[in-house]
Amino acid sequence: MRHDNLLEADVAQDTSDPPWLSLPAEVAVVLRPVVRDIVEAIIDGIPRDVPVYAMPMEGRFGQGVRQGVTIALNRFLDLPGTRLPALSEDGKWVYESLGRGEVRSGRSLESLLAAYRYGARVTFRAISRTVDVSQMPPDALLALGESLFAYIDELSAASAQGYAQEQSERAGEQVRLRGELLEMILRGDSSDGGVPRLAAAVGWTLPEVVGVALVPFPHVDGLRTALGPDALVAERGTDVVVVFPYAARSARPRDLDRALRGRRAIVGPPRPWQQAGESLHLATSAGAHGVGPAPDQADAETSPVWVEDHLAELVVHAEPLATDDLARTRLAPLDGLRPAARERLTETLLAWLRHQGQRAPIAEELFVHQQTVGYRVAQLKELFGDALDDPEVRFELELVLRAGHR
């Protein structure tokens, strides 16, 4: 048992030490004079081994690669026989910067990591030619291989961190600029060409016609992903505002309908982008007046509310006091009825007005027999008399009934 504990302690000590602690210091002494040659060999071979870098090693790109390789080699030769970290703070910054540069150049990180691996192979071959490895003990050879692998891992990790940071910063800046573009569109800024310029800068094709949607905060999780890059999204008060393109003024975007399902969204009518603020105003007004799904309807079942389907309701809600007065006047013939009877007849009256007196669609809507429809309509004509023949009265009745008066 004691032997096992000692073995575990030795293993823990070995794994906590860097592999280059066991590397003979003479490796560095022998290689220092030929660092420049190794650097040139790596620089010459990278374009062949990593085709994406098949370009002249000149200008800022070439200088950056040469600097990175030189710093990497010199730092590696500082490590044999020490517990030094693989990278100094300055060195870490260099390799983070190389990772950032890959994002800016539109390349994947894998190309840079492949170049690191190629540099490790060239360095190992150079050591094999320069140092008499046949005279090195097996532990030293193992330490050499481990040291190169561990060192390249550290370089790769630093570059991956820089790559991720650059991507994150760019994504944040892109979100900020797209939000700024959305605000400019909603303000109708069209005088100095700022909207087209900013749209081009963020890679957003400025459409002729747009719509504006409102999504309340409890329902915005994953919204940007669901909408995709065609939609501009930004927070505004207690809602998230979405500006999206209409391919044609009369065609509703099906993808938008799917993305907004279950989010209790309200979608304003289409407008030229210079008048997007009108679409927002109507969507906001619809939300303020309760246009949309019933509060007790499950969110998963709710389709977005398209304001253009509810324009009459908005007109009615614009002057609620006037609508109340009109309802008292026009529905007065029903005042003497019991509540249940009044509810049945107002329901029938609205269906009768909506379907222009056609019994079949009225019966289908109310789930009653056509004879029942006939009986109720006869009651209504008896109560309202000749008023139901007046188009103006019929319009006003439908108006107040659609506004919810009963």
Q: Are residues 334 and 368 in the same domain?
A: yes
In a domain, 258, yes or no: yes
Q: Are residues 134 and 238 in the same domain?
A: no
Is the sign of the CA dihedral 382, 387, 393, 394 positive or negative?
Answer: positive
CA 206, CA 197: separation in Å to the nearest integer?
Answer: 10
Task: Give the pLDDT of residue 402.
Answer: 84
The CATH number of the domain holding residue 127 is 1.10.490
Q: Are residues 264 and 157 in the same domain?
A: no
In a domain, 192, yes or no: no
Other CB atoms within a 10 A radius of the CB of residue 61 amount to: 14
Helix, coil or strand: residue 239: strand
Which of 315, 349, 371 is the C-terminal boundary of a domain? 315
Which of 169, 190, 219 is the C-terminal boundary of a domain? 169
Q: Are residues 232 and 363 in the same domain?
A: no
Contact, 350 vs 402, CB < 8 A?
yes
The number of domains in the chain is 3
In a domain, 220, yes or no: yes
Q: What is the pLDDT of residues 321-379, one digit of tens each?
A: 878 888 898 999 999 899 999 999 999 999 999 999 999 999 999 999 999 999 999 99
139 is written with which tokens?
């532990």
Give the rounded distance of the alpha carbon of 148 from its chain centre. 40
| DSSP codes, 44-56 | HHHHHHSGGG-S-
DSSP code of 302?
P
Q: How far is CA 338 from CA 1, 190, 345, 372, 377, in A?
A: 94, 59, 11, 18, 17
Q: Are residues 121 and 41 in the same domain?
A: yes
The CATH number of the domain holding residue 265 is 3.30.70
Task: Give the pLDDT of residue 14.
Answer: 53
Which residues of the chain have a pLDDT value below 70?
1-15, 55-59, 132-136, 248-251, 292-301
β-bridge pairing 266-267 and 305-306:
parallel
Contact, 278 vs 271, CB < 8 A?
yes
Helix (H) or strand (E) holding 247: none
Q: List b or e across 363-378, with b for residues whose CB sees 16 or more CB atoms inside 10 angstroms.
A: beebebeeebbeebbe
Which of 149, 169, 189 is the C-terminal boundary of a domain? 169
* Domain range enclosing 264: 207-315
Contact, 75 vs 138, CB < 8 A?
no
Contact, 207 vs 262, CB < 8 A?
no
Contact, 198 vs 249, CB < 8 A?
no
Other CB atoms within a 10 A radius of the CB of residue 39 amount to: 22
Q: Give φ, ψ of 344 to 5 degrees.
A: -60, -45
Q: Are residues 366 and 267 in the same domain?
A: no
Q: Are residues 118 and 225 in the same domain?
A: no
The residues that bridge with 387 in the sheet, in sequence order, are none
Q: Are residues 112 and 245 in the same domain?
A: no
Q: Are residues 259 and 308 in the same domain?
A: yes
Other CB atoms within a 10 A radius of the CB of residue 184 amount to: 17
